[in-house]
Amino acid sequence: MIVCEGLCMDLQDFHLHNLDLRVGTGEYCCIMGPSGAGKTVLLECIAGLHRPSEGRILIRGKDVTAMVPEQRRISIVYQDYSLFPHLTGYENVAFGLRMQKIDPDRIRTDVISMLEKFRIAYLLDRYPSTMSGGEQQRVALARALIVQPEILLLDEAFAALDPVSRQQCMHDLRTLQQSRKLTVIHVTHAWDEAHILADRVAVIIAGKFVQHGTVQEVYARPASESVARFVGTDNVLPGRIVAHSPGLSTVDVGGIRIRACSDAPLTGNVIVCIRGAAWNVIPVPARLDSVNLVTGTLRERSRLGDLERMEVDCGTLLIAIARSTDLQKQNIQSGDPITLQVDPSDVHLIGEDKARPVGNSGTANVPGYP
């Protein structure tokens, strides 16, 4: 459907380097990355608002790199929704049809129908300044979709919404996208949005795509240390491979031996990634035959709703997340000894080049694993 090939672009402080992206028809692709990574510039390139210095953009096989935005049939919704403040809700939604000089009677019919579909018919005569964030977002989506775009671009379009409106808007958008088989490219920081909405994720850091894949793949198996930190992996630790057997590597992390499922034989230094929630708090006495048992001292606890974030000093500082009720049952307080355990399949290793993903191969038939 849409293909970006070798896109390069320099725009003030933003630089895109040789970006390749393929998004299929009806696919929902999230582009994720830290602030300043070039996500919005990329969207604007796709929309035709900036001309790339190198590379090309194809839509349904047709090169549109030189095509002006008004001919591309790509709509964009920004984080601030960018409603025209001097126009009413009706006039905002009708704007695209008016520019295309559609018959006024048809415009009225289409706009009313669209407003009803988004349950915002009551916003017909209201100006954007009198609308809530959720209402503005619906008007912006209605305005973007009424022109029947082939591709919808969303630039952090849910970031400014309250949690309830956000959930509702995400649900509505996903339903609409699936029913229309709409191709969506959505720039976001929020992993929960990607989990709910995205078929695929592309991570962009410093103007380069550093990883593509499903949300689960990128979340569980970051391809580099920078991706691991971006996806919020709690423990990103330097380690050294000390032993390798088929499907299992043993890593020394600051004196702790941790086993990880890994397909590729690794040697030398690696980055060890473990999500905080992957640690289990083991009641003492622990099962001696368990792998990846780590004993340390609980330094600090902080509440995360029903969960607790713990800093555990085992020579190396580890971050673990556990249910508050589990900790209460075991009566563990700050300063107490604590034993943690992690499944080798939840330990992800990144090779020394920090770019090559070294994936886990699952949990089946791993020697030594109970």
Partner 1 sequence: MNPEAGRSYPGAFVGIMLLLGSIVIGITLLGLGVITAAELADPGHFLAVAFDPAVASALWITFSAATVAVLLLGLVGTSLAYVLARSRNRFAGIAESLVDLPLVLPHTVAGLLVYLIFFSRGPIGSPAAGIGLLFEDAFPGIVAAMFFVASPFYINSVREGFEKVPPHLENVARTLGASPLQVFLHVTLPLSTRQIASGAALAWGRAVGEFAAVVIIAYFPMVISTLIYSRFTTGGLAEARSIAFVMILLCLCGFFTYRALIRFGGKRHDRV
Please give the residue ranges that form the binding site for partner 1 (CB under 8 A): 12, 44, 47-49, 68-70, 72, 74-78, 80, 82, 84-86, 95-96, 99-100, 127-129, 143-144, 147, 149
Q: Nearest approach, Cβ of 74 to partner 1 (angstroms)? A: 6
Structure tokens at 250: 């043993």
Q: Nearest approach, Cβ of 96 to partner 1 (angstroms)? A: 3
SS3 assignment for the chain: CEEEEEEEEEECCEEEEEEEEEECCCCEEEEECCCCCCHHHHHHHHHCCCCCCEEEEEECCEECCCCCHHHCCEEEECCCCCCCCCCCHHHHHHHHHHHCCCCHHHHHHHHHHHHHHCCCHHHCCCCHHHCCHHHHHHHHHHHHHCCCCCEEEEECCCCCCCHHHHHHHHHHHHHHHHHHCCEEEEEECCHHHHHHHCCEEEEEECCEEEEEECHHHHHHCCCCHHHHHHCCCCEEEEEEEEEEECCEEEEEECCEEEEEECCCCCCCEEEEEECHHHEEEECCCCCCCCCCEEEEEEEEEEEECCEEEEEEECCCEEEEEEEHHHHHHHCCCCCCEEEEEECHHHEEEECCCCCCEECCCCCCCCCCCC
Q: Nearest approach, Cβ of 127 to partner 1 (angstroms)? A: 6
Please identify, using beta-carbon distances, which residue of 128 and 247 lies nearer to partner 1. Answer: 128
Q: Nearest approach, Cβ of 235 to partner 1 (angstroms)? A: 39
Please identify, using beta-carbon distances, which residue of 70 and 162 lies nearer to partner 1. Answer: 70
**CB distance 153 to 69 below 8 Å:** no
Please identify, using beta-carbon distances, which residue of 47 and 227 lies nearer to partner 1. Answer: 47
Please identify, using beta-carbon distances, which residue of 127 and 369 lies nearer to partner 1. Answer: 127
Q: Nearest approach, Cβ of 139 to partner 1 (angstroms)? A: 12
Q: Nearest approach, Cβ of 203 to partner 1 (angstroms)? A: 24
Q: Nearest approach, Cβ of 342 to partner 1 (angstroms)? A: 45
CA nearest to 78, candidates 126, 128, 125, 116:
128
Residue with tokens 């969960």: 307
Please identify, using beta-carbon distances, which residue of 144 and 322 lies nearer to partner 1. Answer: 144
Please identify, using beta-carbon distances, which residue of 2 and 248 lies nearer to partner 1. Answer: 2
Q: Nearest approach, Cβ of 71 to partner 1 (angstroms)? A: 8
β-pairing, 2-11 vs 14-23, is: antiparallel
Please identify, using beta-carbon distances, which residue of 68 and 364 lies nearer to partner 1. Answer: 68
Please identify, using beta-carbon distances, which residue of 144 and 202 lies nearer to partner 1. Answer: 144
Please identify, using beta-carbon distances, which residue of 129 and 179 lies nearer to partner 1. Answer: 129
CB atoms < 10 A from the CB of 11, how many? 15
Q: Nearest approach, Cβ of 125 to partner 1 (angstroms)? A: 13
